[in-house]
Amino acid sequence: MQLSQRLMGINGGGSDGWDVFLKARRMIAAGTPVTELTIGEHDIRTAAPILQEMHSKALAGNTGYAAIPGSEPLRETVAARVQARTGVPTKPGNVLITPGGQSALFSAHIAACDAGDTALYIDPYYATYPGTLRAAGAVPQVITTRASDAFQPRASDIAAHSAGARSLLINSPNNPTGVVYSRATLEGIAEVCCRDDLWLISDEVYDTQVWEGSHISPRSLPGMAGRTLVVGSLSKSHAMTGSRCGWLVGPEEAISNLINLATNTTYGVPGFIQDAGLYALTRGTEFEEEIAAPFRRRRALAQQVLAGQNTVALVPAQGAMYLMLDIRATGLSGEEFAYSLLDAHHIAVMPGESFGRSAAGHIRVAMTVADDAFEVSLKKLCAHAEALAV
C-alpha cells in the first residue's frame, strides 16, 4: 500500500539535519564517552516536589480522561501568568492546554492555514518547524536572516514574501541563535502582519531565559492580540521536557475551535500531569529563575573563554540555553567543523546548517552539561578551531 504524500513529505524529501547528533549517540552506544552539547535537554531532572505532586495525584485517581481543553485551574493559572507577563487581558478561554509546545505549534498552524496555504518562517529555525508546517498541510516559505544583523529578521524581507501568505512563525528568545528580538524588530513584524493580514505564531517557550534586554510578546503590540497565537511550555521553564505539558494562547474563537482538533487527535493531556504542571507554575518566578540559573552562569563562562581567542566569534547570546558560534575563520562549514570536533575530541555540537542556510559556517552549542565540563569543552573547541585556522 502507498503511504500518503503528506506523511512522506514531512521532511521535504531530505534529512532532518541531525546526522552529527546521531553519530554521537552511536559512539556513546559503542562505549565511547562523548560530551554532548547538542539538544536542549537540562542536565538536571524535573524537581522532586513536582514529581511527587504528579505521583500523588495519579495515586489519588486522576488517571482517567481529563478535560480536553485543560483543567480549569491550570487554564486560569496560565492565563494569569500570561497577563501578568505581557499586560494583555487573558482569560481561561484564551488558553488551550496541549501535549507540549510541539503540539501547540501544530495546532496553531491548523488554526491559521488551510491545505496549500503559504506559511512563513524564519531561518535559522528550530529543526521541526518546516516539517510541522508540511504536516499541517501548509507550504513552508523561509525568510532568511543575516549574521551581520545578529539574525534579527528584517521587516522588508518578510514583506517581500507576505503577499498571499496566511501565517508567520517566529521564535524569541531564539533557538538556535540565542538572540532576543528587539522591540524594533517585533514592531516591524507586527506592521507587516497587520498590513498583509497574517496570523503571527509566536513560539515563546524560552521566555524565562533572557540574559540581556527583555522579552516582548508580540501579542502585546497594537493590533496584534486578535491575530497572534502564542506557544508556551513547561519543558524549558520548569525542566519538564518529558512531561509534555504546554499551551497555546490566542483569540477565544480560535481556541474554542481548536478544542475540536484536540478532541479528534490528542484527546487532551493526562490529568495527573496537568496537576503537576499547575503545581510547578504556582512555585513562582523564583523557581523559574533557579531552573534558568545554570544557563546564565554558563553563558558568562563562555564569554570569558571566547574573549581569550580570535578565531571563534559569539553571536549575541541574549537568551535561551544555546550559543551560536561563528567558525568561518576555520575555512570549514558548520557540518565539517562539527564532524572534525567530534572525531578529534569527542565533543558533539550541532552544525548551523541543521537549522537552515542562514547559519551556514556556524555551530550551535547547548549549555547543558556541568559548568566545569562545559568550560573544558569550550576551551577544546576554541583550540581546535585555532589549529584549523592556521
Question: How many helices and strands, by DSSP H and E, does the chain display?
Answer: 14, 12
Alpha-carbon span 111 to 261, nearest angstrom:
9
User: Chain centroid to CA 372: how far?
Assistant: 26
Residue 33, by phi and psi: left (phi above 0), alpha (psi -120 to 50) or beta?
beta
* Half-sphere exposure of residue 229: CA atoms within 13 angstroms, side-chain side: 27
In the structure grid, which three cell numbers stand for residue 378, read together? 569550550
Q: Smallest Cα–Cα separation from 128: which of 17, 202, 220, 209?
A: 17
As beta bridge partners, residue 363 has 325, 351
CB 86 within 8 A of CB 219: yes
**pLDDT score at 16:** 58
Strands, sheet with 347-351, edge to edge from the N-terminal-most edge strand: 35-37, 347-351, 362-366, 322-326, 313-314
Mean pLDDT by groups of 10 residues along the chain of 390 residues: 92 74 95 96 97 98 97 98 98 98 98 98 96 97 96 98 97 97 98 98 98 96 98 98 98 98 97 98 97 98 95 96 98 96 97 95 97 98 94
Q: Smallest Cα–Cα separation from 301: which of 362, 385, 372, 366?
A: 372
The pTM for the full model equals 0.96
CB 239 within 8 A of CB 283: no
**pLDDT score at 112:** 98
Q: Smallest Cα–Cα separation from 291: which of 300, 281, 301?
A: 281
Domains of the chain with CATH codes? 5-45+286-389 (3.90.1150.10), 64-283 (3.40.640.10)
**pLDDT score at 14:** 60
**pLDDT score at 308:** 87
CB 105 within 8 A of CB 234: no
Over residues 233-284, the pLDDT tens digits come to: 999 999 999 999 999 999 999 999 999 999 999 999 999 999 999 999 999 9
> Omega into 73 within 30° of 0, i.e. cis?
no
| Alpha helix ranges (H) inside 197-248 | 234-237
Alpha-carbon span 232 to 191, nearest angstrom:
23
CB 334 within 8 A of CB 352: yes
Strands, sheet with 95-98, edge to edge from the N-terminal-most edge strand: 95-98, 246-249, 228-233, 199-203, 165-171, 118-123, 139-144
- Which helix (H) or strand (E) segment holds residue 325: the answer is strand 322-326
